[in-house]
Structure 1
Amino acid sequence: MNVLIVDDEEDIGLMVSMFLKKKGISVDYADRITKAKNMIQAHAYEVYFLDLNLPDGTGFDLVDDIRNASVGAKVVIISAYDGVVETRRAAEMNIDHFIKKPFTKKQIIDAVNA
């Protein structure tokens, strides 16, 4: 399984990567939408973990690119923003999981396995 994590907080990216790598999952990391778009075009991933608050946009900005490049891929939002607007938009975009920061290792692994 291949996973892409898009989060501008390097500590979060490293922590989620560590959780997943211990389960034998291949992980790539991007800290910007621009970098993530290039990675999405170059490689198909089965699961995408997206932060909402990025320096050059939001994780929602990547969903169309993901859906076009990786049909059937799972999209997971990891964000401190979990208000009505964000959760409604996630539902409208058919996001598979919405995990609120701070999160647990179990939430990350469960999102991949679900």
Structure 2
Amino acid sequence: MAEAAEDRMGEDKTLLLVDDDEPFVKRLARAMEKRGFEVETAETVAEGRNMAKARPPAYAVVDLRLGDGNGLDVVEAIREKREDSRIVVLTGYGAIATAVAAVKIGATDYLSKPADANQITAALLSDGEDLPPPPENPMSADRVRWEHIQRIYEQCDRNVSETARRLNMHRRTLQRILAKRSPR
């Protein structure tokens, strides 16, 4: 498989990773370097746009929601400079509307977090005619729901009432969910 990936990568192996989750982006950068990519990282929309304009990459992995804005701005900046770039948009919010918006802007593929390096590599290097294989051990629906609730809870500064309001959920129901252990 590594040889097939090398054949599809061609000469230009530049990869731009844009994500505000520092530990994630560092792990992903190391994993992608092992797969033959020349990796650059950015943690903000501004950094990503500047790197895209200065050195448009052949490949990019961009988080949809960044601390200073929307990752789709970085996708647009890459597309302005390099139309043949293969771009994967990552997000913790797997909604159809955002997937459609990402593809319309110019993303090659769209993956929900948590995505591992194998899934990202498959998406970057796929020729678009066939879907990448399904993950070997996908998260259960209960786990995806739990992760989404936890993320919103953290973004609301662990305020149960505000989280419940944003999730259109009764506060007591949310409290019971938060009191339980995470599903596997």
Structure 1 length as normaliser, TM-score? 0.92
Large movers: runs of 4+ above 6 Å = none
Residue in structure 1 matching 2:108, options 93, 96, 104:
96
Query: What is the distance in 2 between the residues matched to 1:41 and 1:84?
Result: 29
Structure 2 length as normaliser, TM-score? 0.59
Residue 98 of structure 1 deviates from its aligned partner by: 0.7
Of structures 1 and 2, the one with the larger relative CO (CA 8 A, separation 6+) is 1
Give 1 or 2 for the bigger CA radius of gyration: 2
- Contact 1:8/1:55 (CA < 8 Å) preserved in 2? yes
Residue 60 of structure 2: aligned partner: 48
Residue in structure 2 matching 1:38, options 50, 59, 73:
50
- Contact 1:16/1:108 (CA < 8 Å) preserved in 2? no
Unaligned runs of 5+ in 2: 1-12, 127-184
Query: What is the distance in 1 between the residues matched to 2:20 and 2:113?
Result: 14
- Contact 2:52/2:74 (CA < 8 Å) preserved in 1? no
Tell me the C-alpha RMSD between the 2 structures.
1.2
- Percent identical: 26
Query: What is the distance in 2 between the residues matched to 1:24 and 1:6?
Result: 18
Residue 29 of structure 2: aligned partner: 17
- Contact 1:67/1:73 (CA < 8 Å) preserved in 2? yes
Residue 91 of structure 1 deviates from its aligned partner by: 3.0
Give the match's secondary structure for 1:19: helix
Query: What is the distance in 2 between the residues matched to 1:94 and 1:25?
Result: 21
Aligned length: 114
Residue 8 of structure 1 deviates from its aligned partner by: 0.3
Mapping for residues 68-83 of structure 1, pairs under 5 Å: 68-83=80-95
Give the match's secondary structure for 2:61: strand
Residue 60 of structure 1 deviates from its aligned partner by: 0.9
Larger % of strand: which?
Answer: 1
